A = this chain, B = another copy of it.
Amino acid sequence: MARRRQSVTIKHVAADAGVSLQTVSRVINNEANVRPAMKKRVQESIDRLGYVPSIAAQRMSGSRSYLILALNDRDRTIEDWRAREGRDWVDQMLLGGMLKCAEYGYRLIFELVDTHSDHVQRELRAAIAALQPDGVVLTPPHSDNTLITDVLEEEGIRFARIGSRKNGGHIAITMGDDKLAAMATQHLIDKGHERIGFIAGPDEYAVSGWRKDGWEESMSAAGYEVEGLCVRGDWTYASGEKAARDLLGAADRPTAIIASNDQMALATNAVAHALGMAVPGDISIISFDNSPVTRFVQPALTAVDQPVARTVSTAVELLIKAQRGEDMPEMPVVIPGTLVERQSVSAPRSKG
């Protein structure tokens, strides 16, 4: 196929408007020092010719690439895609990230990186060299991975960390996990529960700790015991099964369980049924994430919704605005989630 060239370039516009390339460039980039009349004339040529700048050329000449890179964990993402269980984290990221990028004339490039491989750094440097993104959105567990953030700092690329509170010179955004967990716990306490179990996520994820903190906070504020009521999982269904068996097999078992994600909540629900316990009659369940599956399971799960789309959208917007010279927020930004009530919570059975 023939060597493809830009059909309409800045030169064509300049010729059409009878001005220099520079003036056209100034108009494109909305710079100062262009008289309104001149600007109008150039803009008309742009519109008439249907001119759109080549981002390759813009990037080449050392300015912006108009590309935002969204980094996700390769294994977990591919596993979710293959499982086809309706987890829509990626879709929500795209919904928030792509649309916000489009608003500003940027594009979101979704990229997978191996968190645990020893060549994360190489992979990342390669992506940066190839694309020269104007900003990077980091999702857990990348958000606090210093292997990654070190590279980005070295390369001088702005980044936003989702699910992180480390904002030194960078953007940090959380969904208020501790407050959400506290809210979920309080919701159960209000229903009359006193023994509320908690299935935590893996340590590698900062959000795991915050969610646990929130649960503990509400429990101790109410004067309830937490000892022996927390089990750690690793987000997987299997780990949720094991955790649920531990909690529900105990002599003084809880009357409610909060699971740190949907998979583990689903597993808890299944284990309860397997043990002949009614949900929510014998055991109430609240899950985190609120992916589509929470609505399809029996009973539909009460869940803490994570506003992924709004969070990523905000991250992208802050990155773009920072590039335009606006200040980045000093403190971690919180995009709070909400509790979505469904059928997996009721008052505990009155004690015989």
Report A's interface with B, CB cutoff 8 A.
1-8, 50-57, 59-60, 62-63, 65-66, 78, 80-82, 84-86, 88, 90-92, 94-95, 98-99, 102, 107, 109-112, 122, 125-126, 129-132, 155-158, 291-293, 296-297, 309, 323
Contact = CB atoms under 8 A, between A and B. Distances in A.
B62 A4 contact: yes
Contacts of A56: 55-57, 59-60, 65, 132
A201 B213 CA distance: 50
A228 to B, nearest CB: 34
Given A60-B57, A129-B6, A92 B81 contact: yes
B78 A95 contact: yes
A88 to B, nearest CB: 6
Given A1-B156, A95-B78, A98-B110, A7 B88 contact: no
Given A56-B55, A88-B84, A94 B65 contact: no
Chain A binding surface SS class? mixed
B92 A1 contact: no
A98 B125 contact: no
A129 B54 contact: yes
Contacts of A1: 156, 158, 323
A126 B52 contact: yes
A90 B84 CA distance: 12
A182 to B, nearest CB: 25
Contacts of A323: 1
25 contacts: A1-B323, A4-B132, A4-B156, A7-B155, A50-B125, A51-B129, A53-B129, A54-B60, A55-B56, A55-B130, A55-B131, A56-B59, A56-B60, A78-B95, A81-B91, A81-B95, A81-B309, A84-B291, A86-B86, A86-B292, A90-B91, A91-B91, A102-B112, A107-B111, A296-B296
Contacts of A52: 125-126, 129-130
B130 A63 contact: no
A312 to B, nearest CB: 12
A86 B293 contact: yes
A352 B152 CA distance: 74
A129 B95 contact: no
Given A130-B52, A132-B56, A94 B81 contact: yes
B4 A157 contact: yes
Contacts of A86: 85-86, 88, 291-293, 296
A261 to B, nearest CB: 16
Given A2-B156, A50-B125, A90-B91, A292 B55 contact: no
A70 B79 CA distance: 22
A297 to B, nearest CB: 7
Contacts of A122: 50
A5 B62 contact: yes
A282 to B, nearest CB: 22
A125 B6 CA distance: 11
A237 B241 CA distance: 34
Contacts of A102: 112
A320 to B, nearest CB: 13
